[in-house]
Amino acid sequence: MNKIVIKLSLSLFAFGITNVVSAQQVDKKVLNWYNGAAGMQTEKAYKKVKKRESSTVIVAIIDSGIDIEHEDLKGKIWTNTKEIAGNGIDDDNNGYIDDIHGWNFLGNSKGENANDMRLEKTRILASLSKKAASESLAPEEQALLDEVKKSVEEDRAEYEGYLNQIDMMGPMIANIPAMVASEIGKENYTMKDLQKWNAPAEKVQMKQIAMAILNGDLSEESMKAQKEQIQGMLDTHLNPDFDGRAIVGDNPDDFSDKVYGNNDVEGPDALHGTHVGGIVGAIRGNKMGGDGVANNVLLMSLRAVPNGDEFDKDIALAIRYAVDNGASVINMSFGKAYSPHQKAVYEAFEYADSKGVLCIHAAGNDHKDIDTEPNFPTSVYSFQDKKLDHFLTIGSSTRNTEAKLPSSFSNYGQKTVDVFAPGSEIYNSVPQSDYATLQGTSMACPMVAGAAAFLKSYFPKKSMKEIADVILKSSRSYKGVQQTHPATKAMVDFGTLSVTGGVVDLYSAVLMLLAEESSN
């Protein structure tokens, strides 16, 4: 989030990204921190297994798409060897024509792609409002309609307020440089001058805005871009009359209608998915960007996450595709507050569970307790008898282990969040062979997917359930350690924020598996 006045990049907000920093601005302390001592101790883990052979592990990335030609992902993209590229034939008879590197569930057979979508609550609002116009709603339907209507109206009011703030800030921004120059007695001031300025309380915001202008975060161009993004949110995410799904041509409520989409696994906006994929498996040691966690890995791109809320049907089919095509790990860096087809998604998870495929899900970025406010998909649905063996939910941690270990945006839950992993200030790949620093539980999730793939690669005899158990058991415990609560900002026991009370530690996981081998 932009700390001055408004949120940064609302088009990315739907994906759970909370900040974007250009490659030129990357701090050396940030580069690869997640693989170091404050992170998962990945480098130490590699030293411990350097004499062992590794096997290739397929990781499915259900996301916005991946730039499969990225320079840092060369040799890291999964190829369907049962399919002949470009012949227009479904060679492997799986229902997907020319699915060479995965599948795009957000397109049509003409090669056209959808991207902007409504939030799920907006879709529910539109559907129930239409139904209510012709018939009486059941009590539970009326209650849901009232709930989503209120929520959508509140969100629209909030974003319209942001637009008004931007309009008011325009003249302010234009006048700030002269005002600050008068305050500090220097016209061509520098960032160092601003940092030295001991501004009185009533001038602190002026100082903050001046610093944002000077470092490029706040400009006429950026304000214009933010205004366009917010207006886009109002026009699509929160607009009941907008239907971005129409281009796909399927019925998103009919799960038997499976023949749709295309093989464009990058799509029109693959920033989020490319970053997630890079965290899992970007080339290590080439000094191009951040290193991936897993070295011997292939990424299967399944485009199912739009700019807006994903559809349950796309997610369920993507999970089944990943399982049927050899993925050992499925990364799911997405989530939403409502899920109208929960049982169908759960059945897909059950299918993955029965095949021994590990599903890893981001906890979400609303700094809320998902024990009481679910972030779908979830590891424990209301109709579920027991937790699945192959499902992990991941919170986000920082490199500040002293007092601010949980990321300020991270969701938490002593029953439903299994473990935390690095998710703040993560520098890695984005489209066009570029790099950026992003943060969110969306980044923490592939850390664990990469860790799971690493362990499966070097300990191939272990089942994914055994690997998941080791990841949890070996996590670096912070139980009893006081940390800043993501929501209340009060100091609390970190152990109350997740099941394990720990942060993933790949080195400790390797030691645990080696010890098991020695004892057998």
Q: Is residue 202 located within the same domain as residue 306?
A: no
Asked if 430 contacts 398 with a C-beta cutoff of 8 angstroms, the reply is no
Residue 283 resides in a domain: yes
pLDDT of residue 8: 33
Q: Is residue 322 located within the same domain as residue 231?
A: no
H helices within 66-219, ranges in order? 120-132, 139-184, 191-196, 204-214
Provide the number of structural domains found in the chain.
2
Q: Is residue 361 located within the same domain as residue 491?
A: yes
Verdict on whether the full-model pTM lies above 0.95: no
Q: What is the DSSP string of 120-138?
A: HHHHHHHHHHHHHTTSPPP
pLDDT of residue 16: 36
Q: What positions carry a catalytic annotation?
A: 235, 272, 442
Interatomic CA distance for residues 17 and 336, integer angstroms: 14
Q: Is residue 350 located within the same domain as residue 477?
A: yes
Q: Is residue 178 located within the same domain as residue 284?
A: no
Tokens linked to 277: 């994929």
Domain that holds residue 92: 54-116+248-519
Q: What is the DSSP string of 239-258?
A: -TT--GGGGT-S-TT-TT--
Tokens linked to 324: 């049927």
pLDDT of residue 510: 98
Q: Is residue 356 located within the same domain as residue 494?
A: yes
Q: Is residue 367 located within the same domain as residue 482?
A: yes
pLDDT of residue 174: 83
pLDDT of residue 170: 80
- Give the single-character DSSP code of 62: E
Question: By three-state DSSP, how is residue 52 classified?
Answer: coil
- Name the stretches of the chain with pLDDT < 50: 1-24
Reported as a single tens digit per residue, the pLDDT across 1-49 is: 222 223 333 333 333 333 444 444 677 889 999 999 999 999 999 999 9
Interatomic CA distance for residues 318 and 303, integer angstroms: 8
Question: By three-state DSSP, how is residue 437 classified?
Answer: strand
- Tell me the helices (H) and strands (E) count for the chain, helix number first: 13, 14
Q: Is residue 394 located within the same domain as residue 500?
A: yes
Residue 35 resides in a domain: no
Question: By three-state DSSP, how is residue 461 classified?
Answer: coil
Decide which of 237, 269, 304 is a domain's last residue.
Answer: 237
Decide which of 237, 262, 278 is a domain's last residue.
Answer: 237
Residue 181 resides in a domain: yes
Residue 142 resides in a domain: yes
Q: Is residue 277 located within the same domain as residue 339?
A: yes
Q: Is residue 431 located within the same domain as residue 482?
A: yes
Tokens linked to 195: 């940092």
Decide which of 237, 264, 297 is a domain's last residue.
Answer: 237
Residue 26 resides in a domain: no
Q: Is residue 183 located within the same domain as residue 153?
A: yes
Report which residue type is found at 203: K
Peptide bond preceding 377 in cis form (omega within 30 of 0): yes
User: Any idea what the CATH number is for the domain that residue 449 is in?
Assistant: 3.40.50.200
Residue 368 resides in a domain: yes
CA distances from 228 to 7, 41, 223, 231, 298 (A): 12, 41, 9, 5, 37
Residue 45 resides in a domain: no
Q: Is residue 107 located within the same domain as residue 137?
A: no
Interatomic CA distance for residues 22 and 258, integer angstroms: 39
Residue 30 resides in a domain: no
Whose tokens are 């969701």? That residue is: 411
pLDDT of residue 25: 61
